[in-house]
Each structure stands twice: as C-alpha cells, then as structure tokens.
Chain A
Amino acid sequence: MHELSVAQEILEIVNQYVPDPKPNTVKSVKVKVGKFSNILTDSLTFCFDVITSDTPLSGVRLEVVQIPVKIKCTGCNQESEIEPPVFACPICGNNQIKIVSGTELWVDEIELFDEILEDK
C-alpha cells in the first residue's frame, strides 16, 4: 500500500546523484528489496513508472532484486533461509532466531547510458 511513497523516496535519491537528468541518461535503477519488507515488487515498479512518466526519467527501468529471508539460530548457531510466516530454525526447530537478511529496502546502483551514445 505504501509503494508509491517508497517509489518517491527512490526517485529522490536518484535525483541526488543525477540532478537535472536529460532523457536517455539513466538506463536503470537497481534496488534491493527483502522478501520480509512488506513491499510488493510489481506495485513498486508500477508506481516508479507512473511517477517518472512525462519526465526525463521516463522509461528508466526499476530493477528489483529480491533478498530471501535468512535467520541465524541462537541455539545451533546456523544460518538458514526461511519462508515467513514460519519463524523457526529449519535445522533444530528452535524459535529463538535473529533475522539477518530479508528486511532490506535499498537503492543499490544507478546504471547510466554511455555519454558517447547519448551525444549521438
């Protein structure tokens, strides 16, 4: 539901690195989204497309890399991947676990078109 405001924050960060962009400057924006971050990927890319349309960033691809949910068990000390809503160590069954990844919401990188191509 809050993908629109998340898309706006992403755009704001992109604008800090590429201020006053010209069309065909930015190729894609790569974001990392944890599978436990309450973000619907399709909705996020849709919102990003909507807010960039009719701007110089129109057509820029928002590339979403999904990060699986990983935990570290405080019992057996092993790291494993889990599928919420099951929050227990798949190795020993202990439910005293720490989430080590899967809550990310990061702007990772911006990919630019080569300047030479742009000039042509």
Chain B
Amino acid sequence: MSVITIERKVLEKNDAIAQQNRELFRGKNLFTMNLVSSPGSGKTSIVERTIHHTKNKFNVAVIEGDVQTSLDAERVAAYGVPVVQIVTQGACHLEAGLVRDAYIQIEKNNFEVLFVENVGNLVCPAGYDLGEDLKVVIVSTTEGDDKPLKYPAMFRNASALIINKIDLVPYVNCSLETLLKNALSINPSLKVFKTSCTTDEGIAEWCGWIESKIKR
C-alpha cells in the first residue's frame, strides 16, 4: 500500500486569486471591505446611506453578491456609482474569482472605496478570502443578541461590527449590551458602530472611519 503525501489547502485556488486581488486593489490604493451578514440585516441600506453621506468626500464602487436577482445592484445604481451584480445561482458565498471578474467591469471608473456585499449568510462567506482589506460584519437588532455566539467564525474573522436597526431596540427582544458583550467575547478587537439607516444615527461616525482608512 502506498501513500501520496499532499498537505495542500483545499481552498488554495481561491486563496491564490484572493492574493492577486489584494495586490491589484492595493496597487490602485483602494480600501476594500467585504460586507457580511445574515439576509435582511441591512447591508445594502448601509451601502446606500454611506454613498449618500460621502458623495462629496470620496468615490465608492460596489460589487453586489446575491443568490438570485439584481435588485440590490438596481438600488445602488440609483445613486450613480459603479456597480456590478454577481448572481451566484444558488451558491451560498462569493469566491475570489467572481470578485475579480466583477472588478474588471468597473476598474476604469474613479473610486477609492470598494464595497463587496457578500451573499446574506453568516456561515459560508467566513471561509472565503476575496482579497479585501477587512471584513465588516453587520448584525441587526431584530436578529436578537445571540448571533455572535451562534456564528463565531464570522465575528472572529471580521475587523468591524455594525449593529444596525438600533432605532428598533424598544420594539424587539434584543439587549444592545448583551449583543456587544457577546461579540467582544468572540473578538475583543472589533471596531463597533451602532447605526440606523432610517434615522441615520451612527452613519456619520461609520463614514468617518472609512474616510480614515482611505489610502491617498
């Protein structure tokens, strides 16, 4: 009986393309964020409010990932920014190759900030590097305060946390304090923002943080 020793990463192909993406984005001085959350947490709304608030400060481009439809891209396109929709046809996460192909379609535009809005899913996108500078995990108050404990990999791998829909706290069974404690127990270095896309609370602080990350 013979054995072939391999010792290779299963996702090495994705990781290699992600590294190429990272070098490509850095070469263009882009600040790239991979937005991850469960469906309906407000990823697209955060993108929309960000574009609205920063249109005189920096230029944004967006890559949208969804299992089906181009509804999100249509929403974002209304703001006049470059946007590409990736439809994964059932796949539960974006991969680096899909992001590279989408980026090529908008690379001639002038922008400093690139949002990659991942498929709404707190499990699978955690394992796939896209070449981003950092992951931003969004959790909304309507999801309850236990999500960080249930999906620890996503919170551990993220650099920033947006707690969205804080205007709904009086009406839902969610303690901001518990949510924050749970998230920081998984990842104490998370940079935390509390936002509402309805009242725009916290959006200015979030936009200021992005501006501080732009590589001019």
Q: Footprint of B on A, CB under 8 Å?
A: 1-2, 5-6, 9-10, 12-13, 17-18, 27, 31, 36-39, 84-88, 95-96, 99, 105-114
Contacts and interface: CB of A to CB of B under 8 A. Distances in A.
Contacts of B8: 13, 106-107
B1 A1 contact: no
B134 interface: no
Contact of A6 (B11, B156, B188): B11
29 contacts: A1-B123, A1-B124, A6-B10, A9-B11, A10-B10, A17-B6, A27-B1, A36-B152, A84-B153, A85-B149, A85-B185, A86-B185, A87-B152, A87-B156, A95-B188, A105-B9, A105-B10, A105-B127, A106-B7, A106-B8, A107-B9, A109-B3, A109-B5, A110-B4, A111-B4, A112-B1, A112-B3, A114-B1, A114-B2
Interface string B148-172: 1110110010000000000000000
- The CB with the most chain B CB atoms within 10 A, among A18, A85, A88, A96, is that of A85
B13 interface: yes
A43 B124 CA distance: 14
Contacts of B127: 2, 37-39, 105
Contacts of B10: 6, 9-10, 13, 31, 105-107
Contacts of A12: 13
Given A31-B10, A106-B7, A85 B1 contact: no
A95 B185 contact: yes
A38 B185 contact: no
A38 B153 contact: yes
Nearest to A2: B124
B174 interface: no
- The CB with the most chain B CB atoms within 10 A, among A10, A38, A86, A96, is that of A38
A10 B58 CA distance: 42
B6 A109 contact: yes
Nearest to A95: B188
Nearest to B14: A9
B195 interface: no
A2 B153 CA distance: 15
A62 B67 CA distance: 29
B106 interface: no
Contacts of A37: 127, 153
Interface string B76-104: 00000000000000011100000000000
A17 B7 CA distance: 12
B54 interface: no
B7 A108 contact: yes
B209 to A, nearest CB: 22
Contact of B152 (A84, A88, A110, A111): A84
